[in-house]
């Protein structure tokens, strides 16, 4: 049984926690200012959004509004990352490059994901826009799942002397939420939804705390366990895997009817929320949106982006389409470069973005020209391409492409005249009977070739990942992340701060 000591050496008083908050007040004020700008910008954008807008005009309008309201000043204040306006089956990381003519349509589902920062303290917040009410259940699924992920969990602590006796059942009905206490084969229950006030139980006063707590009495120890489902939400000492399980439970309780066909809403299992650091959008911890995952706990003083993705497709994304997002590696040191143009571009990135994400439009705005070769030189060799096909980070085609290619090749072989010569002494009928068998053998060999090509592609991709992890990379590309074509994905996201005394949902507004 897990026992927690209540020695005064470990105690942190409420006054000490309030003092810690006073020390971090400048940080809190900076991120709150950035959040207020985010709220005002998204309120303005929602008023002007309409079908028929060019996506590039939408992004530039939004970004110019952010620059004006936040008083952009280099690395001191500005845009935290490029505006993501991913459409339909594209889940994230798509923004139009210069010259893009994509138009927002009435039946599009657009994820609008943009960030603001002051002194490197980032607010990452996103919402989904759909003009067709047919998609409302899909949006509701991700919105409610995000709200589930950011709810504050109640916690329990014993502040008096336990008077519970072993093997003596005790039941008290106060309100709604169930708590249970006891050793193995020894259980007592109490119901309460009082999360902030004390609860009297057999002479013991209970107030919110976390997980297991030691109860001491004459001759025995008893542990109290809070209701498991209440710990599946974000907060100090909450395990990330529990947050993901709660999110998935809510997300996948929804269905959506699209043009007369009902789809089960799915959580995208390989997309996560994340912790946020100063000038670092992904600070190391990942918040899953499905059950399972790491047992890592959220800690006091951390910032987290709680984001959820609801999909009508497979619930699994791959990299696709033209890459537009890039970001300098946060952990890389000095690396000598050969190309003078690459050195110049790196200096521009350091001065204007440091380790914040950027896109090609931002480089165009700074007056950079003919930078693609230099940008490729800053990235891992073979990763950055004008058009990323399938999962082509490692340069290999997807299994779908291979299957399509194999089918076309097989059809071509069937259409071609047979080059097999019949033996003179064999009847024509026996010769014709052998042709289907030969075609079957050729098809089997073709499938073996496809299988080997697929394995080679996977090995090449894994080898590329190993090389990328082993060698430092100056800049990393972030291609768009897509579910199956024809599906729809919605997203909602908030930034939370785990203060010593409470949890603050920084980006919360009147809209969501």
Q: What pLDDT does residue 24 have? A: 82
Indicate whether 277 belongs to any domain.
yes
Contacts 24+ apart (CB under 8 A), 380-387: 380/464, 380/467, 380/468, 380/471, 380/473, 380/476, 382/464, 383/464, 383/468, 383/477, 384/323, 384/477, 385/323, 386/322, 387/321, 387/322
Indicate whether 353 belongs to any domain.
yes
Q: Which residues are within 8 A (CB) of 11 and not within 5 positions of it... i.e. 6 or more apart?
A: none
Instruction: Clarify whether residues 305 and 215 are in a common domain.
Output: no
Instruction: Clarify whether residues 19 and 93 are in a common domain.
Output: yes
Q: What are phi and psi of 268, to 5 degrees?
A: -75, 110
Least confident of 94-103, 215-224, 310-319, 463-472: 215-224
Indicate whether 448 belongs to any domain.
no
Instruction: Clarify whether residues 94 and 76 are in a common domain.
Output: yes
Strands 171-173 and 188-191, sheet pairing: parallel
Indicate whether 6 belongs to any domain.
no
Q: Where in the sequence is the domain holding 358, given as residue range(s)?
A: 325-380+471-478
* Residue whose tokens read 């889940």: 91
Number of folded domains in the chain?
3
- Angle at the Cα of 15 (from 24 to 13), degrees rounded to 5? 115
Q: What pLDDT does residue 121 have? A: 95
- Residue-averaged pLDDT of the chain: 73
What tokens appear for 8 in the block? 């005064």
* Contact assessment for residue 305 and residue 495, using Cβ atoms and an 8 Å cutoff: yes
Task: Reply yes or no on whether the pLDDT at 184 is more than 50.
Answer: no
Strand, coil or helix: what is 306?
Answer: strand
Tell which wins on pLDDT, 151 or 445. Answer: 151
Instruction: Clarify whether residues 338 and 215 are in a common domain.
Output: no
- Cα(1)–Cα(222) distance, rounded to whole angstroms? 9
Q: What pLDDT does residue 45 have? A: 96
* Residue whose tokens read 């607010």: 123
* Contact assessment for residue 63 and residue 357, using Cβ atoms and an 8 Å cutoff: no
Q: What pLDDT does residue 453 have? A: 60
pTM: 0.68
Concatenate the DSSP letters of all residues of 89-157 into one string. TEEE---PPTT---B--TT-EEEEEEEEEETTEEEEEEEEEESSGGGHHHHHHHHHHHHHHHPPPP-BE
Binding site residue list: 93, 113, 124, 274, 282, 307, 493
Instruction: Clarify whether residues 166 and 101 are in a common domain.
Output: no
Mean pLDDT throughout 385-400? 32
Least confident of 83-87, 210-214, 351-355, 436-440: 210-214
What tokens appear for 293 in the block? 């995952």
Concatenate the DSSP letters of all residues of 254-276 into one string. -EEEETTEEEE-EE-TT--EEEE
What tokens appear for 444 in the block? 């089997």
Instruction: Clarify whether residues 179 and 311 are in a common domain.
Output: no
Indicate whether 431 belongs to any domain.
no
- Cα(469)–Cα(348) distance, rounded to whole angstroms? 25
Q: What is the largest CA-CA distance in the chain?
A: 104
Instruction: Clarify whether residues 356 and 227 are in a common domain.
Output: no
Q: Which of 187, 203, 231 is the last residue of a domain?
A: 231
Indicate whether 411 belongs to any domain.
no
pLDDT tier at 46, thresholds 50, 70, 90: very high
Q: What pLDDT does residue 15 have? A: 78
Cβ neighbours around 386 below 10 Å, total: 8
* Residue whose tokens read 């590696």: 329
Indicate whether 437 belongs to any domain.
no
Instruction: Clarify whether residues 204 and 244 are in a common domain.
Output: no
Task: Reply yes or no on whether the pLDDT at 82 is more than 90.
Answer: yes
Instruction: Clarify whether residues 175 and 101 are in a common domain.
Output: no
Task: Reply yes or no on whether the pLDDT at 92 is more than 70.
Answer: yes
Binding site residue list for substrate: 93, 282
- Over the stretch 113-149, which tens digit does the pLDDT of each residue have? 999 999 999 999 999 999 999 999 999 999 999 999 9
Instruction: Clarify whether residues 60 and 143 are in a common domain.
Output: yes
CATH of residue 285's domain is: 3.90.230.10
Binding site residue list for a divalent metal cation: 113, 124, 274, 307, 493
Q: Which residues are within 8 A (CB) of 267 and not within 5 positions of it... i.e. 6 or more apart?
A: 145, 247, 248, 251, 252, 289, 290, 308, 309, 310, 311, 315
The share of the chain scoring above pLDDT 90, in percent, equals 44
- Cα(406)–Cα(447) distance, rounded to whole angstroms? 7
Indicate whether 65 belongs to any domain.
yes
Mean pLDDT throughout 71-98? 94
Instruction: Clarify whether residues 43 and 91 are in a common domain.
Output: yes
Which H/E stretch holds residue 218? Answer: none
Q: What pLDDT does residue 180 have? A: 40
Give Cα separations from 414 to 209, 386, 407, 409 (angstroms): 71, 35, 11, 9
- Cα(152)–Cα(154) distance, rounded to whole angstroms? 7
């Amino acid at each position: 049984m897990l026992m927690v000591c209540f020695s005064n050496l470990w105690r942190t008083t409420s006054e000490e926690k309030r003092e810690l908050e006073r020390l971090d007040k400048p940080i809190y004020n900076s991120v709150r200012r950035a959040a207020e700008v985010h709220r005002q910008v998204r309120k303005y954008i929602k008023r002007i959004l309409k079908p028929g807008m060019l996506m590039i005009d939408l992004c530039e309008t939004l970004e110019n509004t952010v620059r004006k309201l936040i008083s952009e000043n280099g690395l001191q204040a500005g845009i935290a990352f490029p505006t993501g306006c991913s459409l339909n089956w594209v889940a994230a990381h798509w923004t139009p490059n210069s010259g893009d003519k994509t138009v927002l349509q009435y039946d599009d589902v657009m994820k609008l994901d943009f960030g603001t920062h002051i002194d490197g303290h980032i607010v990452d917040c996103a919402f989904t826009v759909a003009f067709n009410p047919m998609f409302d259940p899909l949006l509701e699924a991700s919105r409610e799942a995000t709200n589930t992920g950011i709810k504050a969990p109640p916690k329990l602590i014993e502040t008096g002397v336990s008077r519970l006796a072993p093997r003596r059942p005790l039941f008290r009905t106060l309100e709604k939420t169930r708590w249970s206490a006891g050793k193995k084969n020894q259980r007592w229950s109490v119901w309460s939804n009082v999360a902030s006030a004390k609860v009297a139980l057999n002479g013991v006063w209970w107030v919110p705390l976390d997980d297991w707590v030691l109860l001491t009495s004459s001759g025995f120890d008893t542990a109290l366990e809070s209701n498991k489902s209440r710990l599946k939400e974000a907060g100090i000492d909450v395990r990330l895997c529990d947050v993901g399980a709660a999110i998935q439970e809510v997300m996948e309780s929804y269905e959506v009817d699209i043009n007369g066909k009902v789809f089960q809403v799915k959580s995208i299992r390989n997309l996560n929320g994340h912790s946020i650091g100063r000038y670092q959008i992904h600070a190391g911890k990942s918040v899953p949106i499905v059950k399972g995952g790491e047992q890592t706990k959220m800690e006091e003083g951390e910032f987290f982006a709680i984001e959820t993705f609801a999909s009508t497709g497979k619930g699994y994304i791959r990299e696709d389409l033209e890459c537009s997002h890039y970001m300098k590696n946060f952990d890389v040191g000095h690396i000598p470069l050969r190309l003078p143009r690459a050195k110049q571009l790196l200096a521009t990135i350091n001065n204007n973005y440091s380790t914040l994400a950027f896109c090609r439009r931002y480089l165009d705005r700074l007056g950079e020209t003919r930078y693609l070769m230099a940008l490729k030189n800053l990235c891992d060799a073979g990763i950055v391409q004008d058009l990323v096909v399938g999962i082509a980070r490692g340069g290999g085609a997807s299994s779908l492409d291979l299957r399509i290619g194999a089918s076309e090749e097989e059809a071509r072989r069937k259409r071609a005249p047979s080059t097999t010569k019949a033996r003179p002494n064999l009847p024509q009928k026996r010769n014709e009977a052998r042709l289907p068998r030969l075609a079957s053998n050729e098809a089997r060999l073709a499938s073996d070739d496809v299988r080997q090509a697929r394995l080679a592609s996977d090995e090449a991709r894994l080898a590329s990942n190993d090389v990328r992890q082993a060698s430092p990379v100056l800049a990393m590309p972030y291609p768009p992340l897509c579910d199956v074509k024809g599906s729809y994905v919605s997203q909602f996201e908030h930034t939370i701060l785990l203060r010593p005394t409470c949890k603050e949902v920084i980006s919360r507004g009147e809209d969501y």
